[in-house]
């Protein structure tokens, strides 16, 4: 078995004296692991940093085996981000989110979104808004997508301002007003087709929305705590 693909480095674990087990999010082959011989050495150590992109060739005798990777650098981001705490929290959070996906399950759209975020992790203006949108997309990919196209009460598609924490369905401003204290805010920037920056209040509301459904549908049922990197990233975004 053999294939080549683009990959975003999301994890590296030492294996023996000089090898590592590399975890990539790839475009066509999903989240995938493989052994990199010599990966712990100086030549590859800087390449195999979370947040970097590589061209990977995977080989194994049969598909079910761990297999091995040969990698070539494509885009190195880690050196640019290493002295920026906000960006490092973002790398950790993005990698933790991608690890929630089933292994070897392709998600080309999520891969593309993750690459865009990785390129902009040092941007306080746009990265947090992109990350919130990514969390919504991840929920959908895991089978827990929210119904945000029309009001659950009236069917209206305009002025959607809330989301039900029970059903994950949008609610229009006027229809939801009597229950606004029980509903989650639906920030305006999440309703736009094109990614746009958001202020600290909108970001806090967006991460509260996605965090509620991640905890209820993903972290909780798996017996996982929300990654510390998420809390650090959300806090940094709120004060940016």
The predicted-structure confidence for 210-222, as pLDDT tens digits, reads as follows: 999 999 999 999 9
Asked whether residue 240 carries a pLDDT value surpassing 70, the answer given is: no
- Residue 82: pLDDT band (50, 70, 90) is confident
Question: How large a percentage of the chain has pLDDT more than 90?
Answer: 88
Sheet holding 170-172, edge to edge: 170-172, 160-163, 184-185
- Residue 102: pLDDT band (50, 70, 90) is very high
CA atoms of 239 and 130, how far apart (whole Å)? 17
Tell me the domain boundaries of the chain.
2-76, 80-148+186-238
pLDDT at 151: 98
Minimum mean pLDDT range among 58-72, 80-94, 139-153, 173-187: 80-94
Residues in a beta bridge with 23: 11, 33
- Residue 3: pLDDT band (50, 70, 90) is very high
Helices 127-141, 108-119: axis angle to 10 degrees equals 160
CA atoms of 111 and 105, how far apart (whole Å)? 11
Tokens describing residue 175: 């229809």
- Residue 124: pLDDT band (50, 70, 90) is confident
pLDDT at 83: 78
pLDDT, one tens digit per residue, over 25-78 is 999 999 999 999 999 999 999 999 999 999 999 999 999 899 999 999 999 998
CA atoms of 150 and 10, how far apart (whole Å)? 36
Class of CATH domain 2-76: mainly beta
Asked if residues 170 and 156 have their Cβ atoms less than 8 Å apart, the reply is: no
Asked whether residue 108 carries a pLDDT value surpassing 80, the answer given is: yes
Task: Kindly write down the DSSP assignment for every residue of 52-112, as one continuous string.
Answer: -EEEEEEE-SSTTS--EEEEEEEE--HHHHTT-HHHHHHHHHHHHHHTTSPBT---HHHHH
- Number of CB atoms found within 10 A of residue 116's CB: 15
pLDDT, one tens digit per residue, over 18-27 is 999 999 999 9
Residues in a beta bridge with 9: 24
Query: What integer best gives the mean pLDDT of the chain?
Result: 95
Tokens describing residue 180: 């606004």
pLDDT at 79: 82
């Amino acid at each position: 078995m053999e294939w080549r693909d683009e990959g975003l480095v999301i994890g590296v674990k030492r294996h023996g004296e000089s090898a590592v087990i590399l975890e990539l999010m790839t475009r066509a082959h999903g989240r995938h692991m493989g052994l990199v011989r010599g990966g712990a050495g100086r030549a590859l150590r800087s390449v195999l940093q979370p947040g970097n992109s590589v061209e990977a060739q995977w080989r194994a005798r049969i598909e079910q085996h761990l297999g091995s990777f040969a990698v070539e650098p494509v885009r190195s981001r880690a050196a640019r981000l290493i002295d920026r705490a906000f960006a490092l929290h973002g790398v950790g959070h993005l990698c933790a989110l991608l690890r929630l996906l089933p292994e070897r399950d392709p998600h080309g759209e999520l891969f593309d979104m993750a690459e865009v975020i990785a390129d902009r992790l040092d941007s306080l203006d746009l990265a947090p808004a992109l990350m919130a949108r990514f969390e919504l997309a991840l929920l959908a990919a895991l089978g827990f997508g929210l119904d945000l196209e029309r009001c659950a009460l009236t069917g209206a598609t305009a002025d959607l301002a809330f989301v039900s924490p029970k059903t994950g369905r949008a609610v229009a401003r006027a229809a939801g007003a009597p229950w606004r204290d029980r509903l989650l805010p639906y920030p305006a920037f999440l309703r736009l087709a094109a990614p746009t920056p958001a202020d600290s209040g909108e970001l806090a509301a967006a991460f509260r929305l996605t965090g509620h459904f991640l905890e209820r549908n993903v972290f909780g049922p798996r017996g996982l705590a929300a990654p510390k990197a998420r809390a650090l990233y959300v806090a940094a975004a709120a004060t940016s």
